Amino acid sequence: MATDSKQFDFGFRNGRLRVAWYALLAVLLLVGGYAMWLRLQGGMRSTNLTSITPWGAWVAFYIYFVGLSAGAFLVSTLANVFGIERLHRVDRDALFAAIVSMVVALLFVWTDLGRMDRMWHPFAWRQVTSALSWEVHAYVAYIFVLMTELYFSMRYDLARVAERGTGLRARLAGLLTLGRRQLTDESREADRTWLKRAGIVGIPLAIFMVHGGTGVLFAVSKARPYWNSGLFPVIFIISAVLSGTALVMLLYVLRTRLFDGERVDRDILDRLATLLAAFVVVDVALTAIEALIAIVSLHPHEVETWRLILFGEMSWSFWWFMVGMGWVFPLVLVSKREWRRTPWLMAVAGLSVVIGIIAVRFNIVVPPQIRPVMEGLPHGSYFPSAVEWATSVGMMAVGLLLYTIGAELLPLTPLDGGDH
């Protein structure tokens, strides 16, 4: 077990890359910040939303990041609950990414409120029959579970950094141990036990409440037949797990290369890529079933909505992004064993899915709001405004910044390489 000082320096290996990366984030944050100012000043008028299409890009990104979070979390449980030892190395990364994604998701849903100043109202007044009311509480509980998990997963290494590291990292690590600085094997065992317990609470919370619940939020809308199906929340969860796996794979390659300066473990990569392939297949199959049921029902609203997705003016987002980048391209990349063991190819596959699932989310949110709920009411037409795009980029940059700072300061890679 090597404990040279280099091991406690988890930041970028390459100083110029660090500067470039933070400069890019700064630009994105400036653009996003300006757009956010426009949104705050102009209110919801700064969007392209209408009363026919009241939910748009912000809602799509909100469910996207909720999904990303739930997916990343479930990947982390593969290691610390289901005992897939190999994946221990990505466990904290997945947890931290899950927390950051959730923060970004809440930023999006906050920005989407007509009255942002009333964000606290759901905690003061409730409605038992409202999925959204339940969701808000589930999100808070979920973030709490995630932080608990990350704490128990990382506490031992935090204590080591606090003891042997230097500077800001050591001080921060000392604070984050919350006073538990023992480096004994018993304390480590206690951590693992509690980690598993929190994971067991977290799994149903993530699957059924957080992401399944977000699917339910849509599925209960009887007025929108496209959403109103029992399979819908299930697809939500599958696509969440898919995007989460892809994100973890991408982060693993990038961070190992750029931060840890180590060789990427080909076995881990292979395992993640195989999982990814399985999730793509399930996602495709369930989506096809859903579409088939909808179209064969001949319900005019369902048929019209699917016609819109497949052949409408925004069908490029379905074919190129959802089918192409989300499903076909990554499936091709993970089809050969040799490719599955090639880090940069897998990073590309991960990125492709992570982008493709954005289109999945947009194609969930927008299409059923184009055809009006009643014949004779005006049809909708929606493409996000510049302010919506720029604020979205800004909020994602906040997420990237949080992740980067965390990756620079926290021992997200187990200090003993994850093999124990």
Partner 1 sequence: MSSNDAMPGVPDTPDRAQLDAMVDAEQADPRAELEDVDFSTELGVAMAEDAKAVSRGEITSEEYWQRYDDLAAEEFGEVYHETPNPAVDHDTAQTIEDDVAESLSCTVGSMASIAESLEEPAGDSEGASEDGEDDDHRWGMVIDLQKCVGCDSCSVACKAENRTPPGVSYNVVMEEEHGEFPNVQRTNVPRPCMQCENPPCVQVCPVSATYKMDNGVVNVDYDRCIGCRYCMIACPYGARYFDFGENYDDEVEGAGEITSPEYGVDRGEREPKKSPVGNVRKCHFCHHRLNRGEEPACVETCVGDARNMGDLDDPDSEVAEMAASTRAMQLKEGEGTDPNVYYLE
Which chain residues interact with partner 1 by CB under 8 A? 43-45, 49-52, 54-55, 112-115, 118-119, 121-122, 124-127, 129-133, 136, 217, 220-224, 369, 372-377
**SS3 category, 163:** helix
And the tokens for 211? 């992401």
Which helix H or strand E contains 237, and what residues bound it? helix 232-255
* Whole-angstrom distance, CA of residue 271 vs CA of residue 132: 36
Residues 53/380, Cβ–Cβ less than 8 Å:
yes
Q: How far is the CB of 297 from partner 1 (least distance, A)?
A: 14
Residues 164/8, Cβ–Cβ less than 8 Å:
yes
Compare residues 45 and 337 and give the one whose CB is closer to partner 1: 45
Compare residues 50 and 166 and give the one whose CB is closer to partner 1: 50
Compare residues 148 and 369 and give the one whose CB is closer to partner 1: 369
CA 21 remoteness from chain centre: 21
253 by Cβ neighbours in 10 Å (0-12 / 13-18 / 19+) ranks as buried
Q: How far is the CB of 384 from partner 1 (least distance, A)?
A: 15
Compare residues 15 and 120 and give the one whose CB is closer to partner 1: 120
Nearest to 53 by CA among 379, 389, 390: 379
* Whole-angstrom distance, CA of residue 281 vs CA of residue 304: 26
Q: How far is the CB of 142 from partner 1 (least distance, A)?
A: 17
* Whole-angstrom distance, CA of residue 56 vs CA of residue 239: 19
Q: How far is the CB of 238 from partner 1 (least distance, A)?
A: 23
Residues 415/89, Cβ–Cβ less than 8 Å:
no
Residues 242/353, Cβ–Cβ less than 8 Å:
yes
Strands (DSSP E) along 140-241, which ranges? Answer: none
Q: How far is the CB of 48 from partner 1 (least distance, A)?
A: 11
Q: How far is the CB of 185 from partner 1 (least distance, A)?
A: 47
- C-alpha radius of gyration, the chain, whole number: 22
Q: How far is the CB of 414 from partner 1 (least distance, A)?
A: 40
Compare residues 17 and 116 and give the one whose CB is closer to partner 1: 116
Compare residues 112 and 265 and give the one whose CB is closer to partner 1: 112
Compare residues 56 and 326 and give the one whose CB is closer to partner 1: 56
